[in-house]
Structure 1
């Protein structure tokens, strides 16, 4: 283990000499390697060494910087607390809702659950530009923002599509016991959606 960094250093010096060219290469005596421990490895004048010059006892206790970065990133991505929420999606026969469990961030669970229901209901030529969820007492208002580029309106959705979209959102909000929602109202940019 003690000779491993010296071997790498020798390879690095040899590669540096090859890149610098024979005419400009500094004179380095590679024929007589030393067996003594040196405080710092020798460096080539033209390029600084990329091998760490820390004492060996520090290297054993400390992970390399490249190993620490992914762990820090993973911890940041897993930082938000996740929770399982049931969303309700219309079955293929358009007769009943089926619960589906999804993972959402706990601090924005209601809004994210609405987003998951909307993802399941993408209809041809029907496009939303966004949505908002507001709860006042036990009444939730879901403001669906129809995109100006949408070729279809809320009224042009089939009865099954309307039932799947609005019914799925309503079931998702009402059936979750922690949210205590008894009533759901739907608006489009603040104006009530009448079907």
Structure 2
């Protein structure tokens, strides 16, 4: 008895859709930030995937693939962009299904909700921690008096001076390795004056021992 084997099905390869991206819009305030070339490249690719309000769901792996680098490299630069308040990561999204939601900050005076309405693209609702923070902030605003306002003003001025000194330090180094080392030292609480004295002596931040 003879058996006729079924014919092997031909597998048609899917032709990838052509990339429709033709331009990327980045915020002007990055000119005031100590942005490295690597971080700028990541920002440009991220912005090419954003909607008109700056929201994007693109994954780090996709950005890494576009740039021809590792996802770890993209993650490092994305963290720097978030620390510099150029990019904001929006919490509450299902990151296992799609890339995390990130927003490029074109205007710091526009909230996430207002930006979402501009783009007509709703974002995830607040999580419990964010709701508690908003309630706490409202209570503080309701109960604060003149002395608290003065204290808040002094705190803002102090923070501004600190941020200016940090920016000055970050701009005083030239290599990526020095920038990474300096960032770690600052975030670990190393006194800025000590770092400034070390750099002003013409010494590399890589040799800083504390």
TM > 0.5: no
Q: Which has the higher helix share?
A: 2
Which is greater in Rg? Answer: 1
TM-score range for the pair, normalised by the shorter chain length: under 0.3
**TM-score, reference length from structure 1:** 0.26
